[in-house]
Amino acid sequence: MSPSWARGTAKNRVRPTYLYRGEAMSRYRELGVDVRKPGIDRFKDSIENLFPGAFCVVQRDPDDPETGLVTHTDSAGSKPIQAYLHYKETGDPSWFRGLAQDALAMNLNDLICVGAAPVTFVDYVAFNTLEIDRLHLLTALAEGFAGCLDTLKAEGVGLMFAGGETADLPDLLRTVDVCVTIFGRARLSEFITGDRIQPGDVIIGLRSGGAVRYEEGQNSGIMSNGHTLARTTLMKPEYVEKYPEISHPSRGRYRGRFSYDDYLDELGMTVGGALLSPTRLYAPIAKAVLEEVGMGVHGMVHNTGGGQTKCIRLGRGVRYVKDGLPEPDPIFRLIQREGGVEWREMYQDFNMGVGFEFIVSPDAVDDVLSVSERYGVGGVVVGRCELSRERNSLEIRSPYGEFIYP
């Protein structure tokens, strides 16, 4: 009899409707965003990285050669524009609060992917002071960060907030930018580098939507990537006429048919509420998995920029095969339908309902699924690892087609 994880994967398999290799027209690139981020390789020679195949850069502590240090920076992306739109329409600054979790989660979730213990973080908030009331914005963000820290502490994840910088930039920014830089560390022997990923390893995905034990209410699952495409696809063009600062003058004109407060039964929430659902904090679950599974975890992936293709950066000589991905959350189906976005691009721009992945040995699968069940987050076997004799690649087999990403 096949093990339980293999039976679950087989049940979810589908026959591909078509095969697509290579590049397709990208709606996202038309808007000025390229998830592949060409050019970042130019920095490689200047970076001291102990584990080039790891999810984050790890550097040796100059005062303790057995300790590795991780410094990571990221933002809430263009999601603050949606919060700004809600703020302008309602006058309610609480719409900014969730951006604190977005910016923090985008960093903390990445940091935990290499097994580093978070220590402290700083924020950087830059905004157009001519359009946003300072006290409104900063009060909402302060409440958001405090709420995150309370949640993490209650779940056994220690993290300190060291303040940061607030920049008044009315000539530079149209709306607002919320960024975080986080610092963590671990013993070098404890880092998850991706080097132990091997054929036969199993990929377990955690849902980005729905509910989890330590969150309030339901989450749409969108997290903090793909928002330029999502927003311009769903929001009414009248908003750009009313608030020209929310869009590039010649690109990104809104083409949607929805108001921010339109409630859709298929979403179970308003369109704007779905777009502003906060990025899930996966650190408590990842910490519990590492404590229970230990060396059985060979890799972890936070599916942010690059969506389901993010795993390609991890390890060497790996062919990732995902043939058990769950049905995408309603927000993704809505974006695809309203925007006419090709499914191949959807899987590359969005997490498509799986926000975090564990790559584990077969004998660790049941333990990881048990941990995810305890936290109330949907955990599912989404695929496996095979040998690639060339560079890393990914094959997605879904009800919407079979896609290969080099």
Q: 30 or 172, which is more confident? A: 172
Kind and range of the H or E run holding 27? helix 27-30
Give the number of C-alpha atoms closer than 13 A to the C-alpha of residue 249, restricted to the C-beta side: 0
Cα distances (Å, whole numbers) of residue 82 to 2, 250, 355: 47, 19, 21
261: nearest Cα among 147, 92, 101, 99: 92
Asked whether the beta carbons of 216 and 379 are under 8 A apart, the reply is no
Tell me the pTM: 0.89
Reading phi first (left if > 0) and then psi (alpha if -120 to 50, else beta), residue 301 is in beta
Note the maximum CA span of the chain.
66
Amino acid symbol at 259: S
Strand segments, DSSP code E, in 142-175 are 160-168
For the segment 94-144, what is each residue's pLDDT rounded down to a tens digit? 999 999 999 999 999 999 999 999 999 999 999 999 999 999 999 999 999
What span, in angstroms and rounded, lies between the C-alpha atoms of 100 and 302? 18
Cα 40 from Cα 180, distance rounded (Å): 19
Whole-number pLDDT of residue 5: 30
Residue 389 scores a pLDDT above 90: no
Tell me which residue of 185, 222, 286, 215 sits closest to 78, measured CA to CA.
222
Give the whole-angstrom CA distance, residue 121 versus residue 196: 29
Confidence of residue 400 (pLDDT cuts 50, 70, 90): very high
Better-scored residue on pLDDT, 75 or 13: 75
- List of E strands, 128-253: 160-168, 176-187, 202-207
Query: What would the pLDDT profile of 15-44 be if each residue is shown by its tens digit?
Result: 334 444 444 446 545 554 554 555 556 556
Nearest CA-CA partner of 299 in 198, 405, 179, 206:
198
Instruction: Select from 395, 325, 314, 394 the least CA-distant residue to 355.
Output: 325
pLDDT in tens, 293-341: 999 999 999 999 899 999 999 999 999 999 999 999 999 999 999 999 9
Name the token pair of 286: 């990842």
Q: What average pLDDT does this structure show over 252-260?
A: 90
Region 77-87: what's the mean pLDDT? 97
CB–CB of 5/381 below 8 Å?
Answer: yes
Counting other chains too, the contacts that 264-272 makes at CB distance below 8 Å and 24 or more residues apart are 264/330, 264/334, 266/330, 266/333, 266/334, 267/220, 267/330, 267/331, 267/334, 268/218, 268/330, 269/218, 269/220, 271/234, 271/235, 271/334, 272/82, 272/85, 272/86
For the chain, the domains span 4-405
Tens of pLDDT along 143-154?
Answer: 999 999 999 999
Classify the phi-psi angles of 303: left when phi > 0, otherwise alpha if psi is within -120 to 50, otherwise beta.
beta
Please give the span between the terminal C-alpha atoms of the chain, in angstroms, as a whole number: 34
Tokens representing 239 are: 């908003």
- The topology under which CATH files domain 4-405 is Phosphoribosyl-aminoimidazole Synthetase; Chain A, domain 2 (3.90.650)
pLDDT at 220 over 50: yes
- Residue 176 corresponds to which tokens in the numbers above? 């607002």
- Looking at the chain, the whole-number percentage of residues with pLDDT higher than 90 is 83
Q: Which amino acid belongs to residue 380?
A: V
Distance from C-alpha of 234 to C-alpha of 260, rounded to nearest angstrom = 9
Please tell me the predicted confidence (pLDDT) of residue 37: 52
Measuring CA to CA, which residue among 44, 138, 49, 60 is closest to residue 93? Answer: 138
Q: What angle do CA 199, 117, 200 make, to 5 degrees?
A: 10
Q: Which of 343, 367, 224, 199 is nearest to 285 (CA)?
A: 367
Mean pLDDT of the chain: 90
Query: Is the per-residue pLDDT at 250 higher than 80?
Result: no
* pLDDT band at residue 248 under the 50/70/90 scheme: confident
